[in-house]
Amino acid sequence: MTARLRLAPSLAGYLSLSSARVALLTWLWAKKLAGSVLLRLDDIDPRDAAHAADAEHDLRWLGLDWDGTKKQSDRRARYAEAATALERAGRLYACFESEDELRAKRDLRARRNQATLYDRAMLKMTAAQRAQAEACGKRPYFRFLLSPEPVGWTDAVLGRTQTKLSAMSDPILLRADGTPLPLFSAVVDDVDAGISHILASDEMRGASAMALDIAAAMGADVAKLRLAHVAPLSPAADRFTLRRLRTDGIEPAAIAACVADDGHAAPTLADLSRTFNVAVADAGAAFDIARLRALNRKVLSRLAFADVASRLPPGATEAFWLAVRDSMDLFTEARGWWDVVAGTIVPPVIDGEGDFLRTALDLLPPEPWNGGLWESWTGQLSERTGRAGEALAEPLRLALTGEDHGPDLSALLPLMGRVRAALRLQVAAA
């Protein structure tokens, strides 16, 4: 049977790095299995629906694709139908307690040092009592009656796993207004779509156990379902979204390499999909922003001009890109280097270097300039001043670029032109 997987990004806001990682690993698993991928948008809540298009955009920017899209907002009738079937089977039951009543129960059990599980009191409600409650204006929400037996599966990452459902409260599947909660709608969608493999964060293991119990109650053959639970990203990743990283100048290939691979070579998505092994998919869990920037530098260094031309400042040439691409951690730095070669910058006055810089200006050759300009100019300057190495290059770099490090000056100098270079030497020597 062809493997079928689904992407189900959180729509609570812009796509978080953690949610993007689960989607990426799911996609890589699907590619490794030569399976199909479904995008599921959990857009029942209008606040979440507002971020559906953003999530699609961010996933595509990351490099992911899919074979079809399903919106939960189109499936309300199906969820109601599934809920009715579970209620008839005795697995879904009506509850009328208010939140205050539930809190009081939990507090009482806590004071008695008892587990704060739901006590299933509503299972004792008679039909007459329910009718009376509804006649008084109360609307029930619905809980799923969990099985007494543990739920177990062979996890593709964790190995044999077992969860005691008896240690969990019966989950609420439907709100009083009939809206399905995410656990329920996800199970119905997975069963209906024939999802065969599901990858989730390890912190979702309890939810996975309940989902298997619900799916089995719906008649699904859960023994055929393959689950994989990966370690969550380290807390350092919590403050990052794909949108923020993109704005900061991080490339999608660097993000993919950082959260899906523990190496340092910044492999492409194609490379990752060929070598992906779900059993060791925890590799990228130890997120480190410094490592991400280092990987981004490697990605930028191999991008051809055609890959970035539309994103560079107007007028930027291939010669410019080839000159700067090996020296940037973030793509956004290209704007600053374009100002260096084609714009107006004011270098600092360099104390104690006035005579040296004026000599450099006197020796600056007339245009046209060629690729050997830097070597010939600095060679003459070295003969005149006796300087060499960093003692010669450092003040020139600071005067010409306003920076103490950066791209090779032999490539930058011809791009900035004599008029611009001469003016900066004058300013820095003043």
Average pLDDT over residues 362-375: 93
Question: Are 94 and 9 in a shared domain?
Answer: no
Does 36 fall in a domain? Answer: yes
pLDDT tens track for 1-24: 799 999 999 998 899 999 999 999
The model's confidence at residue 56, banded by pLDDT at 50, 70 and 90, is very high
CA dihedral 198, 200, 205, 208 (to 10 degrees): -40
Question: Are 49 and 187 in a shared domain?
Answer: yes
Question: Are 204 and 276 in a shared domain?
Answer: no
Question: Are 327 and 371 in a shared domain?
Answer: yes
Structure tokens at 118: 């739901």
The closest alpha carbon to 417, from 320, 334, 313, 326, belongs to: 320
Average pLDDT over residues 336-346: 96
Question: Are 10 and 138 in a shared domain?
Answer: no
Average pLDDT over residues 163-185: 96
Q: Look at residue 264 in the predicted model and tell me its pLDDT.
A: 79
Structure tokens at 297: 């530098």
Rg of the chain on CA atoms, in Å: 31
- 104: domain CATH number is 3.90.800.10
Is the pLDDT at 145 greater than 80? The verdict is: yes
Is the pLDDT at 263 greater than 90? The verdict is: no
Q: Look at residue 22 in the predicted model and tell me its pLDDT.
A: 97
- Residue burial 271-309, b: 16+ Cβ < 10 Å; e: rest: ebbeebebeebbebbebeeebbbebbbbbbeeeeeeebe
Beta strands in 42-82, from DSSP E residues, in sequence order: 68-71
pLDDT tens track for 228-252: 999 999 888 988 999 999 999 999 9
Structure tokens at 48: 């979440």
Output the average pLDDT for the chain. Answer: 95
Is the pLDDT at 94 greater than 90? The verdict is: yes
Between CA 20 and CA 269 the distance in angstroms is 14
Question: Are 293 and 191 in a shared domain?
Answer: no
Q: Are strands 159-163 and 151-155 parallel, antiparallel or unpaired?
A: antiparallel
Q: Look at residue 284 in the predicted model and tell me its pLDDT.
A: 79
Q: Are strands 36-41 and 92-95 parallel, antiparallel or unpaired?
A: unpaired
- Residue 40 exposure: Cα atoms within 13 Å on the Cβ side: 24
Does 153 fall in a domain? Answer: no
Does 338 fall in a domain? Answer: yes
The model's confidence at residue 37, banded by pLDDT at 50, 70 and 90, is very high
Q: Look at residue 282 in the predicted model and tell me its pLDDT.
A: 85
Question: Are 214 and 273 in a shared domain?
Answer: no
Q: Look at residue 365 in the predicted model and tell me its pLDDT.
A: 96
Question: Are 430 and 399 in a shared domain?
Answer: yes
Does 276 fall in a domain? Answer: yes
pLDDT tens track for 103-140: 998 888 888 888 889 999 999 999 999 999 999 999 99
- What predicted TM-score, i.e. pTM, was given to this entire model? 0.91
Does 333 fall in a domain? Answer: yes
- Residue 126 exposure: Cα atoms within 13 Å on the Cβ side: 3
Is the pLDDT at 189 greater than 90? The verdict is: yes
The closest alpha carbon to 49, from 7, 6, 10, 5, belongs to: 10
Between CA 212 and CA 181 the distance in angstroms is 16
Give the domain extent around 268: 249-300
Give the Cβ contact number of residue 31 at 10 Å. Answer: 19
Beta strands in 145-294, from DSSP E residues, in sequence order: 151-155, 159-163, 172-174, 197-201, 226-230
Is the pLDDT at 272 greater than 90? The verdict is: yes
Question: What is the DSSP code (8-state) at residue 364?
Answer: P
Q: Look at residue 238 in the predicted model and tell me its pLDDT.
A: 86
pLDDT tens track for 190-229: 999 999 999 999 999 999 999 999 999 999 999 999 999 9
| Number of domains present in the structure of the chain | 4
Give the Cβ contact number of residue 147 at 10 Å. Answer: 17
Domain end among 261, 278, 300? 300
Regarding predicted confidence, which is higher, 285 or 341? 341
Between CA 371 and CA 169 the distance in angstroms is 73
The model's confidence at residue 58, banded by pLDDT at 50, 70 and 90, is very high
Does 162 fall in a domain? Answer: no
The DSSP annotation for 372-414 comes to THHHHHHHHHHHHH---HHHHHHHHHHHHHSSSS-S-HHHHHH
Regarding predicted confidence, which is higher, 290 or 114? 290
